[in-house]
Structure 1
Amino acid sequence: MTNAFLRRTAVTLAALLALTLALCSGAFAGTTLYSGKEKPKYVFLFIGDGLGLPQLSAAQFLFAASQGKMGEDKLLMSTFPVQGITTTYSAETAITDSAAAGTAIASGVKTYNAGIGVDANKKPYRNFASMAKDKGMKVGIVSSVSLDHATPAAFYAVSESRNAYHEISHQIATSGFDYFAGGGLIDPDGKKSKAPKGNAFEAIKGAGYSVVSGRAELQKLTPKSGKVMAMNDRLPDGNALPYAIDYTPNDISLAEFTAKGIELLDNPKGFFMMVEGGKIDWACHANDAMAAIGDLVAFNEAVAEAVKFMKKHPKETLIVVTGDHETGGLTVGFAGTKYDNFFTVLQGQKVSFQHFTDVVLKDYRAKCGGNFNFEDMKPIITANFGLKFEGDAAADRTVLKDFEIAMLKEAFNRSMGGETEKSKDEMTYRLYGGYDPLAVSLTQILNQKAGLGWTTYSHTGVPVATAAVGLAAETFGGYYDNTDLFKKFCSVLGIATEPVTLAAN
């Protein structure tokens, strides 16, 4: 394809667009904003980190297949009356990270990957959560990952780098927001900071927050508790909640944190709550479809809490669900299955890749004392992933073929040999992506048997779905950029829709 051809194509498309806009009398001249007199009193924004249409489709196909049905059994966001498509590129690349995407949504400006609350020139901007707070609304930030991670941080912090976790965590204390819940903090003591500010938890307590951990302490909270930071007792990796597939009865779900937030935030002036399903993204980075679907279900259950609340306040509530980007390049379709899919094969998986790496393999190493034997690993693989080493592979999709067993043996040897996971060797990276070789090989083979494929261990640049229900929901239909979400939310809240620099306030 020549440059001349591309130029001619661009000129033709531009002319067609201009003609379309003229014929439509300016209907598409800008993003749709809300102009209604009645403003929502209660506003929910749910962000599925890494949630693209493939993740949504894979989950819905699996739910239908598990009931013996063809087609999709829809999640709540798919049933909402207003549906939109949102582009996600950052200021520097077609493929955004969560910091740039979160900043675009929260502050309305494009930035470089890793920027929090700043534009591409590192100029700081306000986010609409703080604007909602200025209007008298209470504000809640909930996430299944650490509360100083990129997406939640974009709604209360400003930082030139998403990795400045210590500095970001201290901005929880100065935010004045009413409810933070979910995961913990990555660097509360500033061990990775060049200029530690003191323990972040102490700063948060000093700002008047009650910092609690565990279900019993969460349940004690009432609207009279004041400002709150609430966490799960168990934060097994990255100070995040466990993957939903690995939940124990003692773990607090994203839905429970959302429900408690509704209880604590409800007041005559209303509230804004952002809820992130952060580990959908983490699972997709590791190409673990079943862990991702498990966290998507947990995310859906959190959305259900908002829908339950909306039924009590149908004329005062707006719920918007979106993704910040797609992760993993997931496809519903794989070369090895051609036009077929076998979604229920996924149900043989009982743990996430992370639990298998951190618990199952760790226990195996401890018990075998260095005498690693793949034959001993076979029943462990079958128990945790449902993959079988004997039987008719042509008749039973869960039976491993010879070349798949060979792949697992190679991965097992690499895992047991203590091979550096994040190898600089391109071939090794393509195979394992920086994860435990055996764990990621198992999820990939299982996914392929189900008819799912992956193209990357990173994000992709494809648009994501946005869905809305409730008062002003029509504002969120159409095809638009993620920066337009900021404008749409501002218009819904009755705030000026142009991005606002902090210097201007």
Structure 2
Amino acid sequence: MIFMRGRRFLAKFVLATVMVTVLAGGAWADRAKYVFLMIGDGMAMPQRNAAEIYLASMAGKDARPGIVKLAMSTLPAQGFCTTYSTNSIITDSAAAGTALATGNKTKSGVIAMNPTGTESHETIAEMAHKRGMKVGIVSSVSIEHATPACFYSHNESRNDYYELACQLPESGFEYFAGGGFKKPKGPKGDQPDVMGIIDKAGYRITETIEDFRKLSKEDGKIVAINPVLWSGKAMPYAVDETDRSISLADFTAKGIELLDNPEGFFMMVEGGKIDWACHANDAVSSIGDTIAFDEAVKVALDFYNDHPEDTLVVVTGDHETGGLTIGFAGTKYDTFFGKLDGQKMSYEAFDLVLVDYRKSTEGKGSLEDFFPQVEKAFGLSLKGQDAVTGSELASLKQAFAESMKGSKERSEDQETYLLYGGYEPFSIALTHLLNRRAGLAWTSYAHTGVPVPVSAVGVGQETFNGYYDNTDVFRKMTSAMGL
């Protein structure tokens, strides 16, 4: 299965989803004192829907199509927002994050500034902090990545990771957690270590589970980095997670513990690798991280249920990624999500297995020799009732041949890009094959321009119904907060 910490998670998740209750209505306080903005990066309706269909399938409901609702889908207010930037219908995370964080449109690539990078926009997190509220920024990707950076920093380029990281301690925010830092010593590795800069600014940095669990309010300002970091200094995919890792839900719960105070708090929590999985057209990894993100949402809802009169929880995405859809020409009106259960690791983890094999065989390995690894990782086989078909095998052979080449020897034409999107060819061919069998399809390795859902509960929840722009999410939240 694709869940955090293996198979035991499904029963727990389904039970929790069935039992989750959300208090709606009632007399609200004058303003929201406790505010959660939960952002599933790359998450639109298809990503939510795929997770819900998968959960139903794993609960044995293939014979009767249906869904097992995510917690975010149970919130009383449900709306949609547009996501375009100033220079494209298809936004990037920097422009979309800026819209959500500041209520202003900007061009793709810009962090919390105007399109020319000449004027900074105050963020909702900065406004809350100025009011006296404590602030937390949590993400499953590196903490200076585009979405989290939009709430505490300002830069004309999202790629200036070092400068963005250096602005972290300048914000004075009390809690940063999740991923690490992509360029801790600058792009050339010759600048002062950002970890030292953060330490000198009075932050306590934790990098182990033991130190994380011991954190208390007495520790002051915190930067909590996950003990296990994968490429891009991000947390592992949920499907690859082990007991050595801290979950997004755990980071959210600790944030509440550390930030809770009479003046209230604002916390932004991002499920950043939903986007990464969808870029690679890996439905299983996307579903796993969507469910992991929803576990963090449930932590926020638990807090809301204890403080219904002065809490606001908003769940949305910054854009859709991959052009995911439920339905494929080869399966017509049917879906077979149970077939996804054969995948035991992300494309990223499988890439490592494939690279090791390429090195050990000096690029001269055979598909037949390597296929036991495929069966172990994806549940596919060369023989038996559910063996790969002739056309499937042909596409796998083509992709395997490309993967056995060195990076400089691979094809770079448009047709090859359409097949593999610049990723490890054999890994992408396998995820595409499995997705098509399940009845899922993709249109892109990039973002798309479709609207994303917005779900809310709490103070001012009714304003989040309807259809509006992503900049309006900021305005609705600041209005509820009385900012």
TM-score (norm 2): 0.91
Q: Which has the larger radius of gyration?
A: 1
Q: Deviations over 1:387-440 (max 9, x none)?
A: 121123xxx4xx311111111111111111124498641111111101000001
The residue number in structure 1 matching 2:103 is 108
Contact persistence 2:28–2:309 (CA under 8 A): no
The residue number in structure 2 matching 1:232 is 226
The residue number in structure 2 matching 1:220 is 214
Deviation at 1:81, TM superposition (A): 0.5
Deviation at 1:367, TM superposition (A): 4.2
> 2:40 pairs with 41, 48, 51, which one?
48
The residue number in structure 1 matching 2:404 is 416
CA 1:441–1:421: 2 relative to 1, 3 Å: farther
Contact persistence 1:422–1:434 (CA under 8 A): no
Contact persistence 2:179–2:235 (CA under 8 A): yes
Deviation at 1:201, TM superposition (A): 1.1
Q: Deviations over 1:204-236 (max 9, x none)?
A: 111110011021110111011100000112211
Determine helix, strand or coil for the equivalent of 1:170: helix
Deviation at 1:250, TM superposition (A): 0.5
> How far apart in 2 are the matches of 1:306 and 1:52?
20
The residue number in structure 2 matching 1:31 is none
The residue number in structure 2 matching 1:79 is 74
> 2:160 pairs with 150, 158, 164, which one?
164
The residue number in structure 1 matching 2:290 is 296
1:67 partnered with 2:59 = yes
Q: Deviations over 1:96-128 (max 9, x none)?
A: 000000000101111111000112232211101
The residue number in structure 2 matching 1:207 is 201
Deviation at 1:368, TM superposition (A): 3.7
> How far apart in 2 are the matches of 1:177 and 1:420?
44
> How far apart in 2 are the matches of 1:404 and 1:479?
42
In structure 2, stretches of 5+ residues that fail to align are 1-26
Contact persistence 2:141–2:179 (CA under 8 A): yes
Determine helix, strand or coil for the equivalent of 1:83: strand
Q: Deviations over 1:140-199 (max 9, x none)?
A: 000000000000000001000000000000000100100000000111111348xx7622
> How far apart in 2 are the matches of 1:173 and 1:388?
52
Determine helix, strand or coil for the equivalent of 2:142: coil
Q: Deviations over 1:31-50 (max 9, x none)?
A: xxxx9762121100000000
> 1:124 pairs with 120, 124, 128, which one?
120
> 1:376 pairs with 352, 369, 372, which one?
369
1:326-475 correspondence to structure 2 within 5 Å: 326-358=320-352, 360-368=353-361, 370-392=363-385, 396=386, 399-420=387-408, 424-475=412-463
Deviation at 1:304, TM superposition (A): 1.0
Runs of 4 or more, structure 1, over 2 Å off, are 362-371, 419-424
> How far apart in 2 are the matches of 1:41 and 1:111?
29
> How far apart in 1 are the matches of 2:427 and 2:111?
32
Q: Deviations over 1:222-262 (max 9, x none)?
A: 01110000011221110000011000111111111111111
1:140 partnered with 2:136 = yes
> How far apart in 1 are the matches of 2:129 and 2:282?
38
> How far apart in 2 are the matches of 1:39 and 1:80?
19
Provide the identity percentage: 55
> How far apart in 1 are the matches of 2:317 and 2:411?
30
Deviation at 1:310, TM superposition (A): 1.6
Contact persistence 2:29–2:309 (CA under 8 A): no
Q: What is the letter of the counterpart of residue 118 of structure 1?
A: M
The residue number in structure 1 matching 2:21 is none
> How far apart in 1 are the matches of 2:124 and 2:411?
41
> How far apart in 2 are the matches of 1:421 and 1:280?
31
Q: Deviations over 1:429-471 (max 9, x none)?
A: 1111010000011001100000000000000000000000122
Q: Deviations over 1:39-93 (max 9, x none)?
A: 1211000000000101111111111122222211110111100001010000001
The residue number in structure 1 matching 2:243 is 249
TM-score (norm 1): 0.87
Q: What is the letter of the counterpart of residue 121 of structure 1?
A: T
Determine helix, strand or coil for the equivalent of 1:47: strand
The residue number in structure 1 matching 2:18 is none
Contact persistence 2:146–2:158 (CA under 8 A): yes
> How far apart in 1 are the matches of 2:410 and 2:48?
29
Q: Deviations over 1:344-366 (max 9, x none)?
A: 101100000000002x1133235
Q: What is the letter of the counterpart of residue 472 of structure 1?
A: G
RMSD between aligned residues: 1.6
Contact persistence 1:422–1:433 (CA under 8 A): no
Q: What is the letter of the counterpart of residue 287 of structure 1?
A: N
Tell me how many residue pairs correspond in the alignment. 453
Contact persistence 1:423–1:434 (CA under 8 A): no
Contact persistence 2:364–2:404 (CA under 8 A): no
Deviation at 1:480, TM superposition (A): 0.5
Deviation at 1:315, TM superposition (A): 1.6
In structure 1, stretches of 5+ residues that fail to align are 1-34, 496-505
